[in-house]
């Protein structure tokens, strides 16, 4: 069975600085997808970034980028130029390529952004 | 497009009561899923469906029933609510092909007394 682990329950960053959230996963599959979701206090789940396991290039979306290490089964999220609106719970998630209906989530990391 | 909608937004039940959480999507997505979110545990999959008439169990299915009679709707039934089912429930939907993300509803906060 696949598992996803986020070992940092809480992180804080100064506004305009850079922060990295960690995520590790375990799987025996070779074809899969990894996601970072943001959950602000409104509770809405918002997709931040997606990585296909078959792609060696790390995904980027504006200020958000990932460091995908397939052999180490590591998938960290880097937020550059942090903004107050980035404060939220962040979830790392895994999905097998064969089933888009089953996401496996990590425990979440609460990010605080200090002005 | 309304996306994924869930009703109600909040609900309080007494132990032993039954209720149905509603979920609907208007994007013609084949896949629909139900998750529960508990503090410190992330979201866990309860049940999912790959199309009308087809459902399967997720990680934590006990105490919940689902059915999928149409592509649009995927209700979650609690037959006899227990305090352990106090949680926030999310419905999500997606297309079936590889690169697609799941779209989430706004969630239902359920309290069982």
pLDDT tens per residue across span B14-62: 999 999 999 999 999 999 999 999 988 889 999 999 999 999 999 999 9
- SS3 letters across chain B: CCCEEEECCEEEECCCCCEEEEEEECCCCCEEEEEEECCCCCEEEEEEEEECCEEEECCCCCCEEECCCCCCECCEEECCCCHHHCEEEEEEEECCCCCCCCEECCCEEEEEC
Q: Return the pLDDT at B98.
A: 58
Question: Residue B99's pLDDT is what?
Answer: 60
A101 vs B20 pLDDT, higher one = B20
- Give B-chain residues touching A97 at CB under 8 angstroms: 98
Best A5, A103, A108 residue to mutate vs chain B (most B CBs within 10 Å): A103
Q: Which pLDDT score is estimated for B38?
A: 94
What's the confidence (pLDDT) of residue A8? 96
> Which uninterrupted H or E stretch holds A21?
strand A19-21
Residue B1 has pLDDT above 80, yes or no: no
Q: Which residue has the tokens 């970072």?
A: A36
Spatial CA neighbour of B13 closest among B61, B79, B90, B66: B79
- The pLDDT score that the predictor gives to residue B41 is 81
Average pLDDT across chain A, whole number: 94
Q: Of A44, A103, A107, which is closest to B40 when you measure between CB atoms?
A: A107
* Length of chain A (residues): 115
The residue in chain A having the minimum alpha-carbon distance to the alpha carbon of residue B32 is A101
Chain A residues whose beta carbon lies within 8 Å of the beta carbon of residue B51: none
Q: What percent of chain A has pLDDT over 70?
A: 100
Closest by CA to B109, choosing from B84, B90, B92, B88, is B88
Cα B46 to the chain's mean position, in Å? 7
pLDDT number for residue B58: 93
- Of B63, B102, B57, B70, nearest to B85 by C-alpha is B63
Q: Do A107 and B98 touch (CB under 8 A)?
A: no
- The single-letter DSSP state of residue A59 is P
pLDDT digits (tens, 9 = 90+) for A25-76: 999 998 999 999 999 999 999 999 999 999 989 999 999 999 999 999 999 9
Q: How is residue B88 written in tokens?
A: 């926030």
Does residue B11 sit at the A interface (CB-CB below 8 Å)?
no
* Of the candidates B56, B112, B33, B55, the residue with the CA atom closest to the CA atom of residue B79: B112
User: pLDDT by residue (tens digit) across B52-99?
Assistant: 999 999 999 999 999 999 999 999 999 999 999 999 999 999 887 656
Q: Chain A: give the shortest CA distance to residue B96, in Å.
A: 6
Candidates A42, A52, A108; nearest CB to B99 = A52
Q: Is the preceding peptide bond at B8 cis, omega within 30 degrees of 0? A: yes
pLDDT tens-digit map of A72-96: 999 999 999 999 999 999 999 999 8
Contacts of A100 (CB under 8 A, 6+ apart): B31, B94, B95, B96, B97, B98, B100, B102
In whole angstroms, what is the distance from residue A110 CA to residue B30 CA?
32
The predicted-structure confidence for A3-22, as pLDDT tens digits, reads as follows 999 999 999 999 999 999 99
- Neighbouring CB atoms inside 10 A of B98's CB total 15
Q: What percent of chain B has pLDDT over 90?
A: 86
Q: Which residue in chain B has the smallest CA separation from A89?
A: B42
């Amino acid at each position: 069975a696949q598992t996803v682990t986020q070992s940092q329950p809480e992180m804080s960053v100064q506004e305009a600085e850079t922060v990295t959230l960690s995520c590790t996963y375990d799987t025996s599959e070779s074809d899969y997808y990894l996601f970072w979701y943001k959950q602000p206090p409104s509770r809405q789940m918002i997709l931040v970034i997606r990585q296909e396991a078959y792609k060696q290039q790390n995904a980027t979306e504006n200020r958000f980028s990932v460091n995908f290490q397939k052999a180490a089964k590591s998938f960290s999220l880097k937020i550059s130029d942090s903004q107050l609106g980035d404060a939220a719970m962040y979830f790392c998630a895994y999905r097998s390529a064969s089933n888009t209906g089953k996401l496996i989530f990590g425990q979440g990391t609460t990010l605080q952004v200090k002005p | 497009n309304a996306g994924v909608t869930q009703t109600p937004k909040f609900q309080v039940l007494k132990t032993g009561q039954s209720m149905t959480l509603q979920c609907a999507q208007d994007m013609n997505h084949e896949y629909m899923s139900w998750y529960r979110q508990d503090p410190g545990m992330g979201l866990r999959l309860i049940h999912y469906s790959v199309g009308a008439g087809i459902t399967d169990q997720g990680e934590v299915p006990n105490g919940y029933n689902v059915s999928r009679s149409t592509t649009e709707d995927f209700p979650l039934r609690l037959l006899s609510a227990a305090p352990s089912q106090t949680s926030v429930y999310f419905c999500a939907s997606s297309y079936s092909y590889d690169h697609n993300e799941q779209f989430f509803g706004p969630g239902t906060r359920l309290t069982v007394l």
